[in-house]
Amino acid sequence: MTSNRTALVVGGGIGGLAAAISLQQAGFHVKVVEKVSVLREVGAGITLWGNAQKALRHLGLGEHLEEISMVGSGAVWTNQGEQISNITPADANKWLGGAVAGFHRAELHAMLIEKAGGNEVLETGRHCIGFEQDERGVAAQFSEGGMLRADVLVGADGIQSIIRQQLFGKEPLRYAGYTAWRGTVTFPHDQLDGLWGEYWGRGTRFGMVPLTNNRVYWFVTKNAPEGQDDGPFGRKQEVLEYAREYPAYSRALIEATPEHMILRNDIHDRKPLQRWSVGRVTLLGDAAHATTPNLGQGACQAIEDAVVLGRVLKGTVDVSAALREYEKIRIQRANSVIVDSRRIGAVGQWENSAACWLRNQIFRRMPRRILLRQIAKYAAYEV
Ligand SMILES: Cc1cc2nc3c(=O)[nH]c(=O)nc-3n(C[C@H](O)[C@H](O)[C@H](O)COP(=O)(O)OP(=O)(O)OC[C@H]3O[C@@H](n4cnc5c(N)ncnc54)[C@H](O)[C@@H]3O)c2cc1C
C-alpha cells in the first residue's frame, strides 16, 4: 500500500535505521534525524544472535548479512583458559536457530543506512529537543531551529533519550558497577581459533569475537566506581593491566590496538518502563529498554522492535492504537532482557575467589540443555 503517511525517526543508530527500513516497507515516507554529523562507535564490534539475524532477514537484508559477519562462539572460559561451557555448531543449529555472529559496527551501520535510502532519508546534524502532538499529527523541534511534522514519531534516540524524558519524565541512569573497554584490531585468526568466547575472572571479564577480514573485536570489563577517567599511564596501559589475569593472547590483542581506537564506557541500563507510547509517539531500542550488554541483546531487541513496529502500522489508520499494539507485543520481552542481563552481569563480575570458583563449577556442571534453554529464550525467537 502506498500512501502519503509520514514517519519521523529521532536517532540514526541501529534501532532508528532498522525502524526506518521497516516503516518504509509498511508504506510510510520516512525521515531519520540524527544529532551528530559523524557517527560514533565506529571502532567497535557487535554480536547479533539468531533472533536479530532473522529480524534483519525480515527487513530484506539477508543476502548482505553473511558478507559482513562471521560466525562466533558462545564459549565461556575461566581466566586461566579452561573451558566452562561451549556451544557447538550443532547445538547452535538445534537450540538457538543458528550461531551468534560478529559484525563491525561501522559495516552494520553502513548496510542499514544504504537499505534505508542513504542521505535522502537520514539527516545528520539535526538535534531534536522535543515535540508537540495533536490529533492530526506530531511536530518535532530542533536546537538549530525549524520543525518537522509527521503522522508518527519514533524516539530511537538511545539511552539518554529526550523523547522518553518528555513522555515519561526524567529518571537517573542505573550504573551496573563496572566499566567496559572495547577495541577492534587486525590479528591472525589462526592464532585464536578454538579460543573465542568470554573469559570470566575476578571482578573482570575478557572476551574476543572473530570479525571478517582477520579482524578481532575484544572487550574487557572491570568493577570500578562510576565516572572515572583513564589512569595516569593512559587507557591502553590500564586495560593491559586488567588483562593480566587472562591468557597472553588477550594482551597481544590489546597491545596491537591503537590507543585512540580503544573505547571506554561505564555500563548503565534503565529501569524497565510500563509504557512506551503516548498518542502518535513511541520509543524503540535503547530509548525504550536500555540494557546492560551481558546477553548481547540490546541491538538485537531494537531490531525486533523495528520489525514489529512496521508490522502493526502497515495499513492501519489508527496510529495510536497501532502503537499501543506494538508496545503490547514488545514490552515484556524487552524488559525481561534488562532484568536477566543485569543479573548475569552481576554474577560475571563477582570478585570473591571462593564465589568465583563456585560459579565456574556450577556453570561447568550445568546440563547443556538448561544452559542452552536460557540463551534460546532470546536467541531462538523469530519475531
Ligand atoms: C559495551 C557494549 C557492548 C554491547 N554489545 C552488544 C552486542 O554485542 N549485541 C547487542 O545486540 N547489543 C550490544 N550492545 C547494546 C547496543 O549497542 C545498543 O542496544 C544499541 O546500539 C541501541 O541502538 P539504538 O539505535 O537504540 O541506540 P543508539 O545506538 O544509542 O542510537 C541512538 C542515536 O540517536 C542519536 N540521538 C540521541 N539523541 C538525539 C536527539 N535528541 N536528536 C537526534 N538524534 C539523537 C544518537 O546520536 C545516536 O546515534 C552493547 C552495548 C555496550 C555499551
Domains and CATH numbers, the chain: 6-172+269-379 (3.50.50.60)
Q: Whose CA is nearest to atom 39 of ligand 1?
A: 157
Q: DSSP states of 70-88 as a string?
A: EE----EEETTS-EEE---
Tell me which H or E stretch contains 301: helix 298-313
- Smallest CA-to-CA distance from 47 within 382, 379, 383, 380 is with 379
Whether 380 and 95 have beta carbons less than 8 Å apart is answered as yes
Q: Enumerate residues lining ligand 1, CB below 6 A.
A: 10-16, 33-36, 46-48, 127-128, 156-158, 162, 180, 182, 265, 285-287, 293, 296-300, 302
Task: For the chain, give the percent of residues with pLDDT over 70.
Answer: 98
Atom of ligand 1 nearest to the CA of 127: 42
Q: Whose CA is nearest to atom 41 of ligand 1?
A: 128
**Does residue 83 have a pLDDT over 90?**
yes
What spacing in Å lies between the alpha carbon of 356 and ligand 1's midpoint?
Answer: 31
Instruction: Render pLDDT for 198-228 as a digit per residue (tens, 0 to 9).
Output: 999 999 999 999 999 999 999 999 999 999 9
Query: What is the distance between the alpha carbons of residues 108 and 219, in angstroms, rounded to a whole number?
Result: 18
- Band (42; pLDDT cuts 50, 70, 90): low
- 312: its cell numbers: 502493526
What spacing in Å lies between the alpha carbon of 298 and ligand 1's midpoint?
Answer: 8
What spacing in Å lies between the alpha carbon of 242 and ligand 1's midpoint?
Answer: 26
What spacing in Å lies between the alpha carbon of 324 and ligand 1's midpoint?
Answer: 23
Residue 192 per-residue DSSP state: T
Q: How much is the pLDDT for 39?
A: 72
- 45: its cell numbers: 564490534
Q: How much is the pLDDT for 73?
A: 86
Instruction: Render pLDDT for 319-334 as a digit per residue (tens, 0 to 9).
Output: 999 999 999 999 999 9
Instruction: Render pLDDT for 333-383 as a digit per residue (tens, 0 to 9).
Output: 999 999 999 999 999 999 999 999 999 999 999 998 999 999 999 999 999
Which residue has cell 595516569?
232
- Smallest CA-to-CA distance from 303 within 381, 357, 231, 227 is with 381
**Does residue 127 have a pLDDT over 70?**
yes
Q: Whose CA is nearest to atom 4 of ligand 1?
A: 293
Q: Whose CA is nearest to atom 35 of ligand 1?
A: 11
Q: Whose CA is nearest to atom 37 of ligand 1?
A: 157
Q: How much is the pLDDT for 38?
A: 82
Q: How far is CA 1 from the centre of its chain?
A: 31
- 376: its cell numbers: 534460546
Atom of ligand 1 nearest to the CA of 142: 42
Query: Cα separations (Å) of 101 from 210, 237, 307, 318, 356?
Result: 9, 29, 20, 38, 28
Which of 128, 157, 198 has the most ligand 1 atoms within 8 A of CB, as the residue to mutate? Answer: 157
Atom of ligand 1 nearest to the CA of 209: 8
- Band (1; pLDDT cuts 50, 70, 90): very low
Residue 355 per-residue DSSP state: H
Alpha helix locations (H) across 1-150? Answer: 14-25, 50-58, 62-68, 89-95, 105-116
Query: What is the distance between the alpha carbons of residues 342 and 292, in angstroms, rounded to a whole number?
Result: 6
What spacing in Å lies between the alpha carbon of 273 and ligand 1's midpoint?
Answer: 18
- Band (41; pLDDT cuts 50, 70, 90): low
Task: For the chain, give the percent of residues with pLDDT over 90.
Answer: 94
Average pLDDT of the chain to the nearest whole number: 96
Instruction: Render pLDDT for 89-110 as a digit per residue (tens, 0 to 9).
Output: 899 999 999 999 999 999 999 9
Decide: residue 170, CB within 10 A, 0-12 exposed, 13-18 middle, 19+ buried: exposed
- Smallest CA-to-CA distance from 198 within 126, 296, 267 is with 296
- Band (3; pLDDT cuts 50, 70, 90): confident
What spacing in Å lies between the alpha carbon of 377 and ligand 1's midpoint?
Answer: 22
What spacing in Å lies between the alpha carbon of 317 and ligand 1's midpoint?
Answer: 30
- Smallest CA-to-CA distance from 220 within 235, 210, 234, 233 is with 235
Whether 47 and 100 have beta carbons less than 8 Å apart is answered as yes
Q: Whose CA is nearest to atom 17 of ligand 1?
A: 299
What spacing in Å lies between the alpha carbon of 304 and ligand 1's midpoint?
Answer: 14
Q: Whose CA is nearest to atom 19 of ligand 1?
A: 298
What spacing in Å lies between the alpha carbon of 269 and ligand 1's midpoint?
Answer: 12
**Does residue 84 have a pLDDT over 60?**
yes
